[in-house]
Amino acid sequence: MPDYTPPEVWTWTKPSGGRFANINRPIAGPMHQKELPVGRHPLQLYSQGTPNGVKVTIMLEELLALGHSGAEYDAWLIRIGQGDQFGSGFVAINPNSKIPALVDRSGPNPIRVFESGAILVYLAEKFGKFLPTELGARAECLSWLFWQMGSAPYLGGGFGHFYAYAPSKIEYAIDRYAMEAKRQLDVLDRQLAGSEYVAGPTYTIADMAIWPWFGGLAKGWLYGAAEFLQVKDYKNVQRWADLIHERPAVRRGRMVNRTSGEPSSQLHERHDAGDFETKTQDKLADAAN
């Protein structure tokens, strides 16, 4: 590896290279003027079907499956690869310019919520579901939720970035983050050895936050790394990943704002429960022909 001596002061002189380099920049704030669309439902979600986005669509679909009509939502697609997260309307609801972001328009004043973990807690508290109220069980659930929020940057921004997206393969970086990704898988595997769901005997927002990342990794959906990390060895994670994947609301949640994979699995925007039957990309293509 060629040596690099950092200069006295770092300056942004060239794109960093690698996938997503076009959306990386060292400054925040809006980059262009663009208002956000608003649909007819109480909740407006602005997102894309990445692991962080899917956490929220799973939660909304689970709430709807329980009959909470107040959880009806419009899901608008924010194409992060095209820089939609830097539009003025989006930055107004998430100054951090990252999906997902939610606006609750059910009350007299719209409430914005950003950060996927905060959105899960907000919805759990609003509807009184999927976050235990007993102090100990609540602490366990929130501990695992925050574990996920703290772990994902190492898995995605560390391992995923250097293994799959960086412009060159750097052994030091891949070793460092593969070690951490496997350590995190082992943490989860040990927890799931004695617990049906992550935070205990019931399904909670901790499962919804952790599954899109570590369930996805276990099922071989992330970074083409299933073999490299030997994910099949984490037997309890595998059991749990399948258990969550079987849930109909999880299957629907995975489809919303999804822009890759089979056209029949991609529902770019969701404005009605019936859209899963009629508005997936394969159906829209058929209708256009």
Ligand X SMILES: N[C@@H](CCC(=O)N[C@@H](CS)C(=O)NCC(=O)O)C(=O)O
Q: Which residues bind ligand X (CB under 6 A)?
A: 23, 50, 52, 80, 85, 97-100, 115-116
Helix-, strand-, coil-residue percentages of the chain, each rounded to 5: 50, 10, 40
Residue 260 and residue 140: Cα distance in Å, rounded?
34
Residue with the closest Cβ to ligand X? 98
Query: Based on CB atoms, which residue is closest to ligand X, 50 or 191?
Result: 50
Residue 181 to residue 194: CA distance in whole angstroms = 21
Torsion over CA of 186, 190, 196 and 197, rounded to 10 degrees?
A: -50
Q: Nearer Cβ to ligand X, position 34 or 239?
A: 34
Cβ atoms of 75 and 256 closer than 8 Å: yes
Residues listed for the chain: 289
Instruction: Give min distance, CB of 120 to ligand X, in A.
Output: 9
Q: Which is nearer to ligand X, 100 or 132 (CB)?
A: 100
Q: Which helix (H) or strand (E) holds 74?
A: strand 73-77
Shortest distance (Å) from residue 34 CB to ligand X: 15
Q: Which is nearer to ligand X, 71 or 113 (CB)?
A: 113
